[in-house]
Structures are given as C-alpha cells and as structure tokens.
Amino acid sequence: MIMSKEEIAWLAGILDAEGCFDFNQNNIKYLRIRIQMKDRDVVERVQALCGGRGTIRLEKRKKNPNHSDTYKFQVGERTRVEEILKLIYPWMSKRRKQKIDIMLNK
C-alpha cells in the first residue's frame, strides 16, 4: 500500500474525527476500522487509500425521515488494518493513539 504523506495525513484526519477502531478482546485476530458518513465520495476515498479493500454499504435511515442515508465502510483484514494503523499513528490524537497501541499490542 503506497500513499503520499498528504494522503496518509488526510486519512488520519478523517479516521481520527469520524472513524471507529474495533477489536475483540477475546479473539485477538479480529481488528477492524470503520467509518460511516453521508458523503459517499469521502467514504470511497477512504476505501481507495486502504488499498481498495473492505466494503462499502448503504445504510438506509427509514425510521426518521429527517435523517439522511449514510455510507458505511469497514476493513477487517488484520494485516491491512495493522498497516493502516501504523501509517496514520503519527497524526492521531492522544485518545486514538492509546486505542491503536492496545490494538497493535494485543
């Protein structure tokens, strides 16, 4: 996965603000990065920067007509997630760095 410094910084900013980092404490093989937002083009760019891996799904907001549909992206391939986390780490907030440390050291 080759990204420019600017692309890594952009991805870090989006994931720091809008992303979710998951892991299953009982099964250390399971790591995941997710993002969900209304802007499909942003979600598609995140997917492209993550090596084109992962899936994008449309989340329909049927219960409340005032809520917009969103696009949800997630990547769960462990080696890919670890690679992404290591790349974005220098640009992440303190709270996100702590979560990444836990994920990478499990």
The larger pLDDT score, comparing residue 23 to residue 46, is at 46
Q: What is the SS3 assignment for 93?
A: coil
Give this prediction's pTM: 0.88
Note the pLDDT tens digit of each residue in 36-85. Answer: 999 999 999 999 999 888 899 999 887 777 888 999 999 988 899 999 99
Q: Where are the domains of the chain?
A: 5-95
Contact 67, 38 (CB under 8 A): no
What would the two tokens of residue 44 be?
Answer: 């598609």
State the CATH architecture for 5-95.
Roll (3.10)
Q: How confident is the model at residue 27 (pLDDT cuts 50, 70, 90)?
A: low
pLDDT at 3: 92
